[in-house]
């Protein structure tokens, strides 16, 4: 995926069990990269995008992802679009990373770890606690100064996703104009599913200054928006997560 992925397990498990959990999680994430990477010309998603591979001949999970992307296109007034880039290339990356990490966390939970954190380039899925009585803490990077944090949030079971310009530059496009999204510096979304939090953050970044009004209507998800000038807005329930 072109990023560091960290898995922090806090359960007291035998070393062999821990190794099996990690091997399974990273094996799954490598498969996702091989299947969905738009940087790999031989990946299934690249071949589908070029018209070399029919959807019915793909892995069912690729079809599942594209179906969910189409649902999200409707839910976001068209701002989440797998063909938003100027050339119209097929790119479901705005959903794939969150979806992949969400399922990696589910696999780890089924294997016996109730307390873990998976961080994929700032998109984080959390379960349980790092230690009794203490929630996980996640720092949100400031989009105008990657060396600084905007704030720190705390939660136990849930997800934090951030879409911004500080890591990959102008990589999110407004599907209606096919121009790079430049009005916002970053959007962070907190909620129960990293799959949806990641997609919502991507769509909101594409919306620009219309994002706060749309985000405020999302049930079960809270958000923080920082515009290109450094001004911040947050949803009504977001302060409940803030610790610093």
pLDDT in tens, 107-160: 999 999 999 999 998 899 999 999 999 999 999 999 999 899 999 999 999 999
Q: Mean pLDDT throughout 9-17?
A: 97
**pLDDT tens readout for residues 33-82:** 999 999 999 999 999 999 999 999 999 999 999 999 999 999 999 999 99
Q: Mean pLDDT, the chain, as a whole number?
A: 95
Q: How far is CA 148 from CA 41, 77, 142, 143, in A?
A: 36, 33, 6, 9
* Per-residue exposure over 203-227, b if at least 16 CB sit within 10 Å of its own CB, e if not: bbbbbbeebbebbeebeebbbbbbb
């Amino acid at each position: 995926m072109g990023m560091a992925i960290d898995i922090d397990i806090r359960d007291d498990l035998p070393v062999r069990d821990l190794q099996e959990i990690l091997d399974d999680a990273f094996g799954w994430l490598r498969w996702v990269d091989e299947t969905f990477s738009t940087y790999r010309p031989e990946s299934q998603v690249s071949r589908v995008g070029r018209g070399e591979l029919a959807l019915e001949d793909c892995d069912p999970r690729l079809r599942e992802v594209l179906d969910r992307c189409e649902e999200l296109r409707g839910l976001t007034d068209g701002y989440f679009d797998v063909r938003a880039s100027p050339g119209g290339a097929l790119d479901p990356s705005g959903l794939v990373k969150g979806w992949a990490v969400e399922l990696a966390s589910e696999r780890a939970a089924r294997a016996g770890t109730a307390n873990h954190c998976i961080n994929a380039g700032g998109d984080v899925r959390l379960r349980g606690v790092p230690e009794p009585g203490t929630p996980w803490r996640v720092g949100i990077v400031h989009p105008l100064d990657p060396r600084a944090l905007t704030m720190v949030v705390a939660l136990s079971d849930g997800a934090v996703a951030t879409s911004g310009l500080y890591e990959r530059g102008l990589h999110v496009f407004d599907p209606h104009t096919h121009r790079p999204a430049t009005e916002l510096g970053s959007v962070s979304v907190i909620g129960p599913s990293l799959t949806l939090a990641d997609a919502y953050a991507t769509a909101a970044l594409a919306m620009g200054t219309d994002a706060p009004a749309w985000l405020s209507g999302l049930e079960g998800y809270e958000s923080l928006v920082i515009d290109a000038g450094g001004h911040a807005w947050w949803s009504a329930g977001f302060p409940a997560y803030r610790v610093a």
